[in-house]
């Protein structure tokens, strides 16, 4: 793919991803679904809190309506809410304007199909071909054939109601910290937790267009760690810019990433008979400690490429109930077709309450191996990974670590980066292994 990576078309706003790209994407979507529906396709749009999201919302709406379809605006909302609305309310597709955990000056466009899933590569290839073509090959509609833009904030409220009704336990008496990352969760999560009876302590919920993900949220988890400890909370949940991921904090202020969440929820679901497949889907980035813990309690696991898109494909193909990424994208197939940070936090709360326990106790049998990750910015990701000297050092480090750890070198799906990750019995061993690989990449791969 030239534009669309594992998580949409993402880049610096009006440089890598411009107003004109958004108009063309809107024009293609509007024309495609207008023709497939014999007139008046229906496309719903959500956005996060970046300054540029408003510009892209207008551009997409302009493109969609000029091609004859109708655009429905959810306004500031989460990616999972767009997925829910598309699949539950008869829309042709959904568009989410977000760059997720990236800084405010970046933005992105995610396209979601009518089942609430990330749209397939075949469709994206056609869209990319149009982006690079002459815009005149789609006729502008005139008169009554021009589409409409409609306010659809009620859809966001229906998503809030849906989240609340998935919960069967009262959260009364629980003190919960919520870090909204000054992003999309700011418009939703407090209402959910208040309705469920929790005593909520909300931080970073005052977006101004520029402060999304700035020293807050799931990418700066130390902020919530400190907040939970200082306020003696039962737990905390941090979200990213579009709230499709969640990182949790236990009552001691310790971090619970996606691997810990998969372990706690997987074990609970198995004990409750809700993990009928007895399998949890992970990505290749999951910690080897998670697999060792699953082996001990008899849960099988599957590994996919990085990206909740691939996790979902594996889950849907085999009927698995639970899957996710270390980064906090967790999918519960009973409730959603994509990662949903708020939904994940609700499932964790139910486990804690139903178990009459604490998160620190629920995770105590899981040993996470120290992990070191470094990113190297490169010009050509493919050539780096095909370089013989780089391949040799990777093989050597893999042999050195053997069963006591591992080395993983992969290209980023969204940025011009090579990611080098090692796990080992100690942090020092992992760091040394990563540094040896990084040194060779810098010498032969830049």
Q: Is the dihedral of CA 164, 166, 170, 172 positive or negative?
A: negative
Q: Which residues are annotated as a binding site for Mg(2+)?
A: 100, 240, 242, 244
How far apart are the C-alpha atoms of 434 and 446, rounded to whole Å? 17
pLDDT digits (tens, 9 = 90+) for 280-292: 999 998 999 999 9
CATH topology of 4-155 equal to that of 371-444? no
% of the chain with per-residue pLDDT over 70 = 99
Active site residue 100: yes
- To the question of domain 166-362 being in CATH 3.40.120.10, the answer is yes
Mean pLDDT of 284-308: 94
pLDDT in the model for residue 162: 98
pLDDT in the model for residue 6: 77
Catalytic residue selected from 69, 100, 218, 433: 100
Query: First CA to last CA across the chain, in angstroms?
Result: 22
| Answer CATH for 4-155 from 2.40.50.140, 1.10.1530.10, 3.40.50.720, 3.40.120.10 | 3.40.120.10
Strands 149-151, 255-256: pairing is unpaired
Domain residue ranges of the chain, discontinuous segments joined by + = 4-155, 166-362, 371-444
Mean pLDDT of 155-178: 97
Q: Which has the closest alpha carbon to 79: 240, 224, 190, 210?
A: 240
Lowest mean pLDDT, pick from 111-120, 128-137, 197-206: 128-137
Mean pLDDT of 65-87: 97
Lowest mean pLDDT, pick from 133-137, 153-157, 175-179, 346-350: 133-137
Q: For the domain 371-444, what is the CATH code?
A: 3.30.310.50
pLDDT at 446 over 70: no
Q: Order of strands across the sheet with 371-377? A: 371-377, 417-423, 406-411
pLDDT in the model for residue 445: 66
């Amino acid at each position: 793919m030239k534009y669309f990576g594992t998580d949409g078309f993402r880049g610096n706003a009006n440089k890598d991803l411009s107003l004109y790209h958004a108009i063309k994407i809107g024009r293609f979507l509007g024309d495609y679904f207008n023709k497939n529906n014999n007139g008046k396709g229906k496309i719903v749009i959500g956005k996060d809190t970046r300054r540029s999201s408003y510009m892209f919302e207008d551009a997409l709406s302009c493109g969609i309506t000029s091609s004859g379809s109708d655009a429905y605006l959810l306004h500031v909302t989460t990616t999972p809410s767009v997925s829910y609305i598309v699949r539950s309310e008869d829309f042709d597709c959904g568009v989410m304007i977000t760059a997720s955990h990236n800084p405010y000056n970046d933005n992105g466009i995610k396209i979601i199909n009518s089942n609430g899933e990330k749209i397939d590569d075949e469709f994206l290839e056609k869209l990319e071909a149009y982006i690079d073509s002459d815009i005149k090959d789609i006729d502008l509609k005139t008169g009554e054939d021009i589409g409409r833009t409609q306010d659809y904030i009620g859809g966001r409220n229906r998503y809030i109601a849906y989240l609340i009704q998935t919960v069967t336990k009262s959260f009364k008496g629980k003190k919960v910290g919520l870090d909204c990352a000054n992003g999309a969760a700011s418009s939703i999560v407090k209402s959910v937790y208040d309705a469920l009876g929790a005593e909520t302590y909300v931080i970073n919920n005052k977006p101004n267009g520029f402060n999304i993900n700035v020293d807050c949220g799931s990418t700066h988890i130390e902020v919530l760690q400190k907040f939970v400890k200082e306020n003696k909370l039962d737990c905390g949940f941090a979200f990213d810019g579009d709230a499709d991921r969640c990182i949790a904090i236990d009552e001691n202020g310790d971090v619970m990433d996606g691997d810990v969440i998969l372990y706690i929820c997987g074990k609970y679901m198995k004990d409750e008979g809700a993990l009928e497949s007895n399998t949890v889907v992970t990505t290749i980035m999951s910690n080897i400690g998670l697999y060792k813990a699953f082996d001990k309690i008899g849960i099988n696991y599957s590994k996919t490429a990085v990206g909740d898109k691939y996790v979902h494909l594996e889950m849907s193909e085999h009927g698995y109930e639970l899957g996710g990424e270390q980064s906090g994208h967790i999918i519960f197939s009973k409730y959603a077709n994509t990662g949903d940070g708020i939904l994940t936090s609700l499932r964790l709360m139910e486990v804690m309450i139903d178990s009459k326990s604490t998160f620190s106790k629920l995770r105590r049998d899981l040993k996470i191996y120290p992990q070191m990750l470094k990113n190297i910015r490169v010009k050509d990701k493919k050539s780096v990974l095909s370089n013989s000297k780089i391949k040799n050092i990777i093989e050597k480090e893999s042999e050195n670590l053997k069963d006591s750890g591992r080395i993983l070198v992969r290209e980023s799906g969204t940025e011009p980066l090579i990611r080098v990750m090692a796990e080992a019995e100690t942090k020092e061993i992992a760091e040394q292994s990563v540094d040896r690989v990084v040194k060779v990449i810098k010498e032969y791969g830049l």
